[in-house]
Amino acid sequence: MKKVIVLGGGGFIGGHLAKRLKEDGNYVRVCDIKNHEYFNHEEICNEFILGDLTDPKTVALVIGEGYEEVYQLAADMGGAGYIFTGQNDANVMHNSALINLNVAKEAVAKGIKKVFYSSSACMYPENNQLDPNNPNCEESSAYPANPDSEYGWEKLFSERLYMAFNRNYKLDVKIARFHNIFGPKGTWKGGKEKAPAAMLRKAAETPNGGEFEVWGDGQQTRSFLYIDECVNAVLSLMQSKFAGPVNIGSEEMVTINQLAEMAIKISGKNITIKNIHGEEFFKTYGFKCPTGVRGRNSDNRLFREKLGWEVSKPLIEGMTETYEWIEQKVSNTSLAEVV
């Protein structure tokens, strides 16, 4: 039995990954600053440590002797409403950088065999993502660096941190740049949710004949990868000899309005989209519309070449499965409000 640690296992991707690692027969220790909202501890791990990984003493305790692998997914993050408004920049950079500084050092001290680090497509230069139809997210396009958010800069810094630990201390690191991962049992409300969960929640909440808001003009493009595919890709990267950094995402690019239309179609309702941006957005929310870059799509050529991996689930299928979960959450919430 292999002993592994999942940092940030109380979160969306970390929770699913820890669950899969446990199901695969590993001994799994999870650490997070919060409990998982939708999984019980027993479902995802053998040990759950509630702790703050910005504290080096906690990290020294969590990364114990005898563990072979560390999966580092803990980060101060959220959707566009959290990382692109500018209001959380200092915390995002400070907290996530501290976690990574602590983890890299402790992994060397404890002789951890492999460390997985979850970077993000947000580290790609803004100037390569201005054309919504032709964004460039090839791994080699990362430099000269020019991410459009402090969240992206921290990811780039931490990628370099882990690579430096690899060069100087022979720490075996695997780095993936995730592109919008979604699925059930993730954040679906409260301001930290991502676009797929936000659209599906709005579709579930809006009555037939109603309308819901979509931030921006809706023409910005993105791709979205279903959680199970992400977990498979992470595990195959960890088992390979390839270190990355490599994209883990889908190449099925859609506009945000197309994503909203898909959510509406799945709900079976007749709902109109209201795009809100510019001055109207500012007047309503008090900050600039946080839509991020104009275009972004995963480029999977490197992953395909090194690991032979292909995305197998079309976006509509993942969205439909996620809708079922979110719709249940929405009806439970409204029921609780009525009672």
Taking CB under 6 A as the rule, does residue 231 contact ligand NAD? no
In whole angstroms, the minimum distance from the beta carbon of 140 to ligand NAD comes to 19
Tell me whether residue 38 is one of the annotated catalytic residues: no
Taking CB under 6 A as the rule, does residue 12 contact ligand NAD? yes
Residue found by looking up tokens 């479902």 in the block:
43
How far apart (Å, rounded) are the C-alpha atoms in residues 232 and 16? 11
> Which range in 7-15, 279-287, 305-313, 328-336 contacts ligand NAD by CB under 6 A?
7-15
In whole angstroms, the minimum distance from the beta carbon of 278 to ligand NAD comes to 26
Q: Which of 134, 160, 133, 157 is nearest to 147 (CA)?
A: 157
Taking CB under 6 A as the rule, does residue 88 contact ligand NAD? no
- Map the footprint of ligand NAD across residues 18-37, applying CB under 6 A: 32-34
Of 5, 6, 10, 20, which one interacts with ligand NAD (CB under 6 A)?
Answer: 10
How far apart (Å, rounded) are the C-alpha atoms in residues 312 and 188? 24
> Which range in 46-54, 102-110, 205-213, 265-273 contacts ligand NAD by CB under 6 A?
46-54
Taking CB under 6 A as the rule, does residue 194 contact ligand NAD? yes
Between residues 74 and 260, which has the closer beta carbon with respect to ligand NAD?
74
- Map the footprint of ligand NAD across residues 110-149, applying CB under 6 A: 118, 120
Taking CB under 6 A as the rule, does residue 53 contact ligand NAD? yes
Taking CB under 6 A as the rule, does residue 302 contact ligand NAD? no
Residues forming the site for ligand NAD (CB under 6 A)? 8, 10-14, 32-34, 52-54, 73-77, 95, 99, 118, 120, 178, 180-181, 187, 194
Catalytic positions, please? Answer: 151
